[in-house]
Amino acid sequence: MDTIGILGAGAMGSGIAQVAAAAGHEVVICDNLTIALSKAGKLIQTSLKTSVEKGKLTDADAYSLFSRIRFTDHMSEFRECSIVIEAIVEEIEQKQIAFKSMEAIVDEQTILASNTSSLSISAMGAQLKYPGRILGVHFFNPAPLMRLVEIIPGLQTHPEVVASGKKLIDGWGKTTVIAKDTPGFIVNRVARPYYGEALRIFEEGIADEPTIDWAMRDLCGFRMGPFELMDFIGNDINYAVTEVVFSNFFFDPRYKPSFTQKRLVDAHYFGKKTGRGFYDYRDGAVIPEPTRDEPLGREIASRILAMLINEAAEALYLRIANRDDIDLAMTQGVNYPKGLLAWADEIGIDKVVEKLDSLYVEYLEDRYRCSPLLRKMSRDRRNFY
């Protein structure tokens, strides 16, 4: 089997290395910090130990899986790899430098892939001698557990590179979707209103955090409410993604970041990992009870859901991905209870349009503009499915 290279042995690199080794590949994982390499080794071993304890893996399989991973601080060891997946810091210059160095080492046929969550794949390809080999492969965290991988061709990417990258990762038991090289790809774009609209509702004083969380969880079926989810992801990370999506979309007000979250970041109230976020997680602190007012909860849920559906419809309208991939991405990438386009059919597209139009009339803000696709479908009485 092919040897897989991974550059960057952080949270994502170590997870992807484990996935590739589990599929039977020899893996070379490289980081310029030796401490990161030893941390990655420990992380993978802990994860394998858990799988053994749960009976998902035998001791012998865990041992041989781990022995297929080679840890190194020399990029030259990528020489034999058929694909190298880069998972270093989220900075375009750093990634471009790393790809240039790798191109001097690997074969002409080697695919150079990036696990970036938000940067342009085409910009990474632009620096290469053979730009047709660049590919975005966006795994979710933790990579061994999350099934979705977004595959993102750059403008220059060869169709065969897309096909063989997709086939390889499908073979690792992942569900792949193809997304256009645009900010946030599918998931990080379509999910923005889950946070942004919840923050807006909170800022307007319509409801507090536990009530909004309760509405989305208990009345709508999401696994976590927006505020507990932002605290779980980390407000620093969640805010940074929003900011990147907002600026990369040339400041479209639909993605506008929130001051409420910015202040939490300023105060280092990152969420669970720092003990404080929207909620207080320190010893003895209790999460406040929601106001279980069902009409209020339904109003909140229908507003956030309409904004999410609008975003999914717009992604389809602008051909970021196809219908099935958009729904698959949201159910498997972020565990939404239903695909948003299927959900739109269930609610009734005319009702979603009505909700968006009422918000638009109320606020007179471009943020609430209804996707032309939804409006057209409502007029033509068509469904997504």
Ligand X SMILES: NC(=O)c1ccc[n+]([C@@H]2O[C@H](COP(=O)([O-])OP(=O)(O)OC[C@H]3O[C@@H](n4cnc5c(N)ncnc54)[C@H](O)[C@@H]3O)[C@@H](O)[C@H]2O)c1
Segment interacting with ligand X, rule: CB under 6 A, options 81-89, 197-205, 247-255, 308-316: 81-89
For ligand X, the binding residue among 7, 135, 178, 356 (CB under 6 A) is 7
The edge-to-edge listing of strands for the beta sheet with 3-7 is 69-72, 26-30, 3-7, 83-86, 111-114, 134-139, 148-153, 175-178
Active-site residue set: 117, 138, 150, 188
Q: Does 242 bind ligand X (CB under 6 A)?
A: no
Judged by CB under 6 A, does residue 10 bind ligand X?
A: yes
Q: Is residue 67 part of the contact set for ligand X (CB under 6 A)?
A: no
Nearest-approach distance from CB 258 to ligand X, in angstroms: 20
Binding residue for ligand X (CB under 6 A) from 3, 47, 110, 115? 115
Q: Is 176 in the site for ligand X (CB under 6 A)?
A: no
Name the phi and psi angles at 72, rounded to 5: -150, 155
* Residue 141 vs 335, nearer CB to ligand X: 141
Report d(CA 166, CA 154) in Å as an integer.
14
Q: For the CB of residue 115, give the shortest distance to ligand X in the complex, in Å.
A: 4
Q: Does 271 bind ligand X (CB under 6 A)?
A: no
> What single DSSP character describes residue 75?
G
Contact (CB, 8 A) for 202 and 228: no
Binding to ligand X by CB under 6 A, coded x per residue (else -) over 14-33, reads -----------------xxx
Say if residues 301 and 215 touch (Cβ distance below 8 Å): yes
Alpha helices in the chain (DSSP H): 11-22, 34-53, 59-67, 92-103, 121-125, 159-170, 187-190, 192-203, 209-214, 226-233, 235-248, 259-266, 294-317, 323-333, 340-347, 349-363, 372-379
Q: Are 331 and 339 in contact (CB under 8 A)?
A: yes
Site for ligand X in 126-155 (CB under 6 A): 139-141
Closest CB to ligand X among residues 232, 281: 232
Q: How far is the CB of 308 from ligand X (least distance, A)?
A: 20
Number of residues that bind ligand X (CB under 6 A): 23
- CA 233 from chain center: how many Å? 11
Residues engaged in binding ligand X (CB under 6 A):
7-13, 31-33, 36, 87-90, 94, 98, 115-117, 139-141
